[in-house]
Amino acid sequence: MPGAGQPSPGAARPRRGTELSRVILTPEEISQVQAQALAEYPAECCGVLLIRPSRPEDRLLLPCRNIQDELHTKDPARHPRDARTAYYIDPRDLLSIGRREAEGYRVATIYHSHIDTGAYFSDTDKRNALINGEPAYPDAVYVVLSVVEGKAAGAGAFAWEPTRRDFVPADLTLPVAAR
């Protein structure tokens, strides 16, 4: 998740296939993420959905603070993009995510918005989700929301497909088989 792909130090990864199915985002969670995206427009919003296995499943939606504008202001050469075209999750939020992982939660969904453009998984999104060519969170689904002129314009979900070694579209609204 350096933006998105930087894992928490020492975070344990769940074994593939340990769940029977999952819902990427519930309708309520989608509404909360859309509300965040609209409130933060014209900056990209960002956050994660953490899940802890239990009956019923323990789901925690964690909106995060995008500090991209601060980074851009401090060092525009190193951070040439501002928050309209990039996000960088606040390190304090990354620490909070790491603490939750230590409590048995796992990162199930990483989300952010695109401003005045479509809900696609960009080359930058892909680059930020990979570390040395491998996904930082191979079992997470990445959700991108499109906000155009201050209105929600769509959403897309993308998941790592190991055989294709790429992120592919996933159904945002239906339970999906564990990878």
- What pLDDT, on a 0 to 100 scale, did the predictor assign at position 14? 36
What domains are defined for the chain? 21-177 (3.40.140.10)
Q: In this model, does residue 174 exceed pLDDT 60? A: no
If we measure between CA atoms, which residue out of 102, 115, 98 comes closest to residue 48? 98
Q: How confident is the model at residue 173 (pLDDT cuts 50, 70, 90)?
A: low
Using one digit for the tens of pLDDT, what is the confidence trace for 1-40? Answer: 445 444 333 333 333 333 334 579 999 999 999 999 999 9
Instruction: Tell me the average pLDDT across 52-61.
Output: 90
For the chain, what is the mean pLDDT?
87
pLDDT for res 162: 95
Query: If you search the block for the tokens 């314009």, which residue do you land on?
Result: 153
* Cβ neighbours for 126, distance < 8 A, ≥ 6 positions apart: 166, 167
Q: Provide CB contacts within 8 A for 55, sequence distance 6+.
A: none
Contact 107, 137 (CB under 8 A): yes
Write out the two tokens for 171.
């159904």
38 to each of 24, 41, 103, 119, 129, how far by Cα in Å? 20, 5, 31, 14, 24
pTM of the predicted structure, to 2 decimals: 0.85
Position 134 pLDDT exceeds 50: yes
Please tell me the predicted confidence (pLDDT) of residue 73.
98
Mean pLDDT, residues 155-177 taken together = 84
